[in-house]
Amino acid sequence: MSYKNINTALIHGGISTDERTGAVNVPIYQTSTFKQDGLGKLRGYEYSRTGNPTREALEALIAELEGGYAGFAFASGLAAETAVLSLLHSGDRVLISSNVYGGTFRLLNQVFDHFGINYTISDTEDIAAFERDITPDVKAVLVESPANPLMTVTDIRAVAEKAHEHGLLVIVDNTFMTPYLQRPLELGADIVVHSATKYLGGHSDVVAGLAVTKTKELAEKIAFIQNSTGGVLPPFDSFLLIRGIKTLGVRLDRHVSNALAAAEFLSKHSAVKSVHYPGLVTDKGYEVNKRQAKNGGVMISFELTDGHDIEKFFESLKLVTLAESLGGVESLVCHPSSMTHASIPEEIRRKVGITDGLIRLSIGIEDIDDILDDIEQAIKASEVS
Ligand SMILES: *Cc1c(COP(=O)(O)O)cnc(C)c1O
């Protein structure tokens, strides 16, 4: 079916009804195996690691939303990344954006390195610098835009064009934007990965990962790796994700309007030294982001001016919750240097600009005045006299 707008596809995309009963929601096929009618006579499924109807509905949905050939659901975002990076071979090198998610860095730095797969941190914001990093062993680039936690924007189209001139595979982690705000395959990426734990799930109640490939050839390879390595998403979690995705559009509309109001509030605040949010006209990534995404998204990071005790700030928040993760309906705050990005060595953190004073906000869909009142009182409480 074709739709005028993604809002309809969020609800009716993929396989949205049960053919047999007419149930308007895809049932949870909580089964590990499937009866065969005779030797080699399958009814489409044989074993749930290989394929499960609930997971398949989710996989068809995300493929449709991202505009790809096929989708794959994994037990976490990192399981999805592990499967995608398993396309590489010993001796290959992957370039990664300079502030990718800490777990992505750790996966390459402390797991894939055992298998002789190397990485280089590349400033993908700067196309010339990115091209200089393409040595003969580089086979792929993994981009996050906006990248965590400084919200740096990479021109996905420009990176994809340059990368393809050198025969690289282009992987984009679209967790922060979702296909509602940004569609990397249309901008030239070959594979999109998600931590669906975040906005796609949207309610902080499921850990999940997704990958979508642009081509049939890549889909066949990822399907083989998914089945061979086995990090698949269970049927119940697949159901939760389908349920979450149905409200992605309405949730994100509110998330984004709240985030813009919060970013404007912080950028005018005398106690705030810097604000990183690509939805602000004054942000260095604004123009590029505007070309490739619907808006600036939801994630904001900022620093307080000297004379504020950051630990006091975190302790004083009453509504905004101090926690890892992001993308849920509730507002969350975190301290990247000691939490999400702690697995990145201090010297690298310093080099890429992740300071100990940096605060990351995932703005929820509560009433914006309540969110801002809470931030304001915590800033006041954090003043050092
Ligand atoms: C959370 C996150 C991941 C990892 O996903 P999990 O579901 O926690 O495994 C990867 N990339 C980004 C941008 C994230 O925020």
What's the mean pLDDT in 14-21?
A: 84
Any domain includes 159:
yes
4: pLDDT strictly greater than 80: no
For ligand 1, atom 12, name the residue with the nearest CA.
Answer: 101
Q: Is the CB of 99 under 6 A from ligand 1?
A: no
Q: Is the CB of 353 under 6 A from ligand 1?
A: no
Q: Which residues pair with 322 in a beta bridge?
A: 333
For ligand 1, atom 4, name the residue with the nearest CA.
Answer: 77
Q: How many C-alpha atoms does 359 have within 13 Å on its Cβ side?
A: 29
Assess whether 228 and 258 both reside in one domain. no
- End position of a domain, from candidates 199, 227, 246: 246
CA distance 219 to 225: 10
Q: Is the CB of 175 under 6 A from ligand 1?
A: yes
Assess whether 32 and 128 both reside in one domain. yes
CA distance 338 to 346: 10
> With bands split at pLDDT 50, 70 and 90, how would you rate the model's confidence at 196?
very high
Assess whether 292 and 199 both reside in one domain. no
Assess whether 236 and 286 both reside in one domain. no
289: pLDDT strictly greater than 70: yes
Assess whether 214 and 297 both reside in one domain. no
> Which ligand 1 atom is at minimum distance from the Cα of 208?
7
> Which ligand 1 atom is at minimum distance from the Cα of 196?
7
Assess whether 188 and 223 both reside in one domain. yes
The pLDDT, as a whole number, for residue 258 is 98
Q: Which amino acid is at 239?
A: F
Assess whether 226 and 348 both reside in one domain. no
Q: Is the CB of 144 under 6 A from ligand 1?
A: yes
The pLDDT, as a whole number, for residue 340 is 81
> Which ligand 1 atom is at minimum distance from the Cα of 103?
4
**How many Å lie between the centroid of ligand 1 and the Cα of residue 314?**
22
Q: Is the CB of 112 under 6 A from ligand 1?
A: no
What's the mean pLDDT in 270-299?
A: 97
Q: pLDDT tens-digit profile of 291-327?
A: 999 999 999 999 999 999 999 999 999 999 999 999 9
**How many Å lie between the centroid of ligand 1 and the Cα of residue 41?**
39
> With bands split at pLDDT 50, 70 and 90, how would you rate the model's confidence at 342?
confident
Phi, psi of 34 (to 5 degrees): -135, 140
Q: Which two tokens stand for residue 19?
A: 């053919």
> With bands split at pLDDT 50, 70 and 90, how would you rate the model's confidence at 21?
very high
- End position of a domain, from candidates 246, 274, 306: 246
Q: Which two tokens stand for residue 66?
A: 């991202």
Q: Is the CB of 101 under 6 A from ligand 1?
A: yes
Lowest mean pLDDT among 14-28, 278-292, 358-372: 14-28
CATH code, domain with 301: 3.90.1150.10
Q: pLDDT tens-digit profile of 199-211?
A: 999 999 999 999 9
CA distance 296 to 154: 13
Assess whether 109 and 209 both reside in one domain. yes
> Which ligand 1 atom is at minimum distance from the Cα of 325?
1
Mutate to test the pocket of ligand 1, among 74, 101, 104 (most ligand atoms within 8 A of CB): 101
More confident residue, 18 or 194: 194
> With bands split at pLDDT 50, 70 and 90, how would you rate the model's confidence at 352?
confident
**How many Å lie between the centroid of ligand 1 and the Cα of residue 328?**
13
The pLDDT, as a whole number, for residue 346 is 87
Assess whether 190 and 279 both reside in one domain. no
Phi, psi of 62 (to 5 degrees): -70, -35
Q: Is the CB of 178 under 6 A from ligand 1?
A: no
Q: pLDDT tens-digit profile of 231-251?
A: 999 999 999 999 999 999 999
The pLDDT, as a whole number, for residue 1 is 59
The pLDDT, as a whole number, for residue 345 is 85
Any domain includes 95:
yes
What's the mean pLDDT in 2-12?
A: 88
More confident residue, 364 or 351: 364
Domain that holds residue 364: 249-381
Any domain includes 1:
no
The pLDDT, as a whole number, for residue 106 is 95
102: pLDDT strictly greater than 70: yes
> With bands split at pLDDT 50, 70 and 90, how would you rate the model's confidence at 138?
very high
- Whether 181 and 175 have beta carbons less than 8 Å apart is answered as no
> Which ligand 1 atom is at minimum distance from the Cα of 207?
7
> With bands split at pLDDT 50, 70 and 90, how would you rate the model's confidence at 347?
confident
Assess whether 330 and 298 both reside in one domain. yes
Any domain includes 310:
yes
**How many Å lie between the centroid of ligand 1 and the Cα of residue 19?**
34
Active site residue ranges:
49, 101, 173, 198
- End position of a domain, from candidates 205, 224, 246: 246
Q: What does the H/E/C string look like for the chain? A: CCCCCHHHHHHHCCCCCCCCCCCCCCCCCCCCECCCCECCECCCCCECCCCCHHHHHHHHHHHHHHCCCEEEEECCHHHHHHHHHCCCCCCCEEEEECCCCHHHHHHHHHCHHHHCCEEEEECCCCHHHHHHCCCCCEEEEEEECCECCCCECCCHHHHHHHHHHCCCEEEEECCCCHHHHCCHHHHCCCEEEEECCCCCCCCCCCCCEEEEECCHHHHHHHHHHHHHHCCECCHHHHHHHHHHHHCHHHHHHHHHHHHHHHHHHHHHCCCEEEEECCCCCCCCCHHHHHHHCCCCCCEEEEEECCCECHHHHHHHCCCCEECCCCCCCCCEEECCCCCCCCCCCHHHHHHHCCCCCEEEEECCCCCHHHHHHHHHHHHHHCECC
Q: Is the CB of 103 under 6 A from ligand 1?
A: yes
For ligand 1, atom 1, name the residue with the nearest CA.
Answer: 195
> Which ligand 1 atom is at minimum distance from the Cα of 104?
10
For ligand 1, atom 8, name the residue with the nearest CA.
Answer: 77
**How many Å lie between the centroid of ligand 1 and the Cα of residue 307?**
33
Domains identified in the chain, total number: 2
Assess whether 49 and 108 both reside in one domain. yes
CATH code, domain with 143: 3.40.640.10
**How many Å lie between the centroid of ligand 1 and the Cα of residue 78?**
6
Lowest mean pLDDT among 16-20, 223-227, 305-309, 332-336: 16-20
Assess whether 223 and 277 both reside in one domain. no
